[in-house]
Amino acid sequence: MERDSFIQSFYLREEEKLYKKLYLQNPQIYEEPIRSWDEFLGRFMENNKDGKISLPQLPPTHIDNHFTEDEYFSQEILEETNVVVNARYCPAFLHGLEFIKLIYVFCGNCLFYYAGKWNNLCAGNICIVAPEVEQTVFSHLDEDIVINLLIRRSSFTEAFPELLEINDGGIIAEFFWKMLYHRQGGEVMVFHSKPYRLLEESVMELYEEAFLLPKRSRLVMKSMMMSIFGYILRINEEDAVFLKDSKKIEKYPLIEYQQYMKRHIDTVSLASLSKEFYVSEGYLSRYFRKETGYTFSHILLEMRMKKAAELLIKTECNMERIVSLIGYRDQSIFFRNFKETYGMTPAVYRKKKRQAEVMRIY
């Protein structure tokens, strides 16, 4: 679909027309977000004492203070991504999400509310919201097109190592690390970037796959979503802003720890890591558990298994060489761990993955 045709397809829906009518009657009550439809009705009634407009007792679109993955991702087809167009003129209601949200302003403008402040976003701007962060979006012009791209947290976690091949340093990658492991929440990043052609085209294609084709493909949508995150990692970091703290962002130790582990995967241990960063082993053990929910040993095992899987697919290394490269001295332990992780032996894994790659090409 051409860009102009894509834009023209976003005509005001019936629910948006009703929202617009309410907004034009009382624009002043939209200055602060709401927490429920009842709160909105109360505000509206206070400023509509003549009762000229009848109010619906239920919101025209779904309004709630928290949305779960089950509400937005089909379990029947194991859906991992979704697309939701922001309803224009809908009262801004504060809510949290169980999943990751990427807000893309395709046309016009919108207001993003977070941590007690409104932030203006214009065409080409991107906002990534980590799970369980209370926020909301508001747009009040017919030409505004704001598209929400949603992805399960687990799906992003699975694809994250491949994304880091594009850029494993800098504040954007650092934000992605925090989004995965930082349990306290409260992480939002805004990109005040100009429209990026490749990213915009990917958003259009993802929307078309989700809404315009007879049957959406789970794999195609996930692939498109990962492409979008890949393009984001290429954005000039001067355009990226952490909303939570306008001051200089301090280094997040977990990133440095894990990058060191990846570089020294064949020799790293809790002792060598503590020596490298001048902290005690006990501190490191507690830190990994607190930030990730897993032990150092578990994270190292997962890292080594992913590296082994990568070597099996991308190289011709024999098993002895792979075992050595990822830091194992006992092949039997490696084979046991690999089978527990992937449900098959390394040889079978290599064969199946390569057969799948051949089928994909042809």
pLDDT tens column, 268-301: 999 999 988 888 888 899 999 888 889 999 999 9
What pLDDT sits at residue 336?
96
Give 348's pLDDT tier (boundaries 50, 70, 90).
Answer: very high
Give 251's pLDDT tier (boundaries 50, 70, 90).
Answer: low
Which secondary-structure segment (H or E) carries 271? helix 270-277
- pLDDT of 65 over the 70 cut: yes
Hey, what are 94's tokens?
């504060």
What pLDDT sits at residue 51?
62
Mean pLDDT of the chain: 88
Give 47's pLDDT tier (boundaries 50, 70, 90).
Answer: confident
Rg (CA), the chain: 24
Q: What is the mean pLDDT of residues 201-219?
A: 93
Which secondary-structure segment (H or E) carries 8? helix 3-8
| Residue type at position 73 | F
- pLDDT of 215 over the 70 cut: yes
φ, ψ of residue 121 in degrees (nearest 5): -120, 135
Flag the least confident range among 52-56, 184-188, 196-200, 252-256: 184-188
- pLDDT of 360 over the 70 cut: no
Give 234's pLDDT tier (boundaries 50, 70, 90).
Answer: confident
What pLDDT sits at residue 237?
85
Residue pair 16/89 in contact (Cβ under 8 Å)? The answer is yes
What is the value of pTM for the model shown? 0.74
What separation in angstroms does the CA of 348 have from each of 69, 149, 343, 352, 355?
33, 36, 10, 6, 11
Flag the least confident range among 83-87, 180-184, 291-295, 318-322: 180-184
DSSP bridge partners of 191 = 126, 240
Q: What is the mean pLDDT of residues 74-100?
A: 92
Tokens 């298994």 sit on residue:
305
Tokens 């897993």 sit on residue:
294
- Which of 250 and 300 is assigned the larger pLDDT? 300
Contacts (Cβ under 8 Å, ≥6 apart) of 52 = 25
- pLDDT of 186 over the 80 cut: no
- pLDDT of 199 over the 90 cut: yes
